[in-house]
Amino acid sequence: MTETTPSTSARPRAGGEHPLVRAVNVMKSFHGNEVLKGIDLDVHRGEVVCLLGPSGSGKTTFLRCINQLESIDGGRIWVDGDLVGYRAEGEHLHHLTDKQVAAQRRDIGMVFQRFNLFPHKTAIENVMEAPIQVKGVDKKTARQHAEELLAQVGLADKSGAYPGALSGGQQQRVAIARALAMDPKLMLFDEPTSALDPELVGEVLRVMRDLASAGMTMIVVTHEMGFAREVADHVVFMDAGVVCEEGTPKDVIGNPQQDRTKSFLKRMRTEDDEARADAAGA
């Protein structure tokens, strides 16, 4: 973090409802390769924001910065009014301790393309793990909550199953339940359906749609245009580390203004058509 980044007074407007996530001019490089070149984003409570963009545009990196799996080189991120990763003292920023970072990360659930379940633990043990280990919740309470969450994702009957005995769609639903077990304020999804066979995508999107309806604040990186159109309140198209275009799904997906957005969406449609043709031919 440099001294030239915007002042800490970009903090939430006094008295007003602040966004749950506010990113201002976020920059990130890897070995001199600028991957995020000044990303601005506000996500309000209860909103679903879909992040679209070609591979390599920095979508995953941006989510990882929000969740402090990466540190940022410039700009600021606030989650629920708290500066992420730093404590501000006047114009000076001090890194939070590992313990303070862990406390901030606890409020954010993340679901990855690869589900990363513990293979030697059952579905319910996977869901119970973090509340017990991280929050010190007692086993009985953790189990009860985990049962409710597995029912919520449609897997009440799979609580004793090991990940290896579950389909990819079921594993991803367990992963969502596991993230929800920490009672997050914010859920980050990084292409949660892109590793799934096409026939399993719908069951995961359904769970995500329910979660959105229940008021969860979500940032979703996805190539599922149907989902983005129906569920997103706001769509952000990223390309080469910048926000290229953003707005309602109707505007960005239905009537894109930028050439880069247009050609990306055209490519997506072609891929969809090819997938449908393959499925019809199979």
Ligand X SMILES: Nc1ncnc2c1ncn2[C@@H]1O[C@H](COP(=O)(O)OP(=O)(O)O)[C@@H](O)[C@H]1O
Interface residues with ligand X (CB under 6 A)? Answer: 30, 35, 53, 55-61
Q: Which is nearer to ligand X, 204 or 238 (CB)?
A: 238
**249 exposure class (CB count in 10 Å sphere: 0-12, 13-18, 19+):** buried
Q: Which is nearer to Mg ion, 44 or 114 (CB)?
A: 114
Question: Of these partners, Mg ion, ligand X, none, which one is at the site of residue 57 (CB under 5 to 8 Å by kind)?
Answer: ligand X
Question: Of these partners, ligand X, Mg ion, none, which one is at the site of residue 109 (CB under 5 to 8 Å by kind)?
Answer: none
Q: What is d(CA 54, CA 44) in angstroms, rounded to the nearest whole number? A: 25
Question: Of these partners, ligand X, Mg ion, none, which one is at the site of residue 30 (CB under 5 to 8 Å by kind)?
Answer: ligand X
For the CB of residue 36, give the shortest distance to ligand X in the complex, in Å. 8
Whole-Å CA distances, 4 to 1, 53, 75, 222: 9, 29, 9, 33
Tokens 């589900």 -> residue: 115
Q: Which is nearer to ligand X, 2 or 55 (CB)?
A: 55
261 binds Mg ion (CB under 5 A): no
Q: Which is nearer to ligand X, 9 or 33 (CB)?
A: 33
Q: Which is nearer to ligand X, 16 or 32 (CB)?
A: 32
For the CB of residue 93, give the shortest distance to ligand X in the complex, in Å. 23
- The whole-angstrom distance between residue 9's C-alpha and the CA centroid of its chain comes to 26
For the CB of residue 72, give the shortest distance to ligand X in the complex, in Å. 13
Question: Of these partners, Mg ion, ligand X, none, which one is at the site of residue 58 (CB under 5 to 8 Å by kind)?
Answer: ligand X
- Token pair of 116 as six digits: 């990363």
For the CB of residue 172, give the shortest distance to Mg ion in the complex, in Å. 16
For the CB of residue 238, give the shortest distance to ligand X in the complex, in Å. 7
Q: Which is nearer to ligand X, 61 or 171 (CB)?
A: 61
3-state secondary structure of 191: coil
Beta strands at 217-221 and 48-52: parallel, antiparallel or unpaired: parallel
Question: Of these partners, Mg ion, ligand X, none, which one is at the site of residue 188 (CB under 5 to 8 Å by kind)?
Answer: none
68: left (phi over 0), alpha (psi -120 to 50) or beta: left
Residue type, position 94, single letter: H
Tokens 């007003």 -> residue: 16
Number of H helices, E strands in the chain: 9, 12
Site string for Mg ion, 28-67 (x = CB under 5 A): --------------------------------x-------
Residues 6+ apart with CB under 8 A from 280: none
Sign of dihedral through CA atoms 14, 18, 23, 24?
Answer: negative
Question: Of these partners, ligand X, Mg ion, none, which one is at the site of residue 122 (CB under 5 to 8 Å by kind)?
Answer: none
How far from each other are the two terminal CA atoms of the chain, in whole angstroms? 53
Question: Of these partners, ligand X, Mg ion, none, which one is at the site of residue 53 (CB under 5 to 8 Å by kind)?
Answer: ligand X
Binding site for Mg ion (CB under 5 A): 60
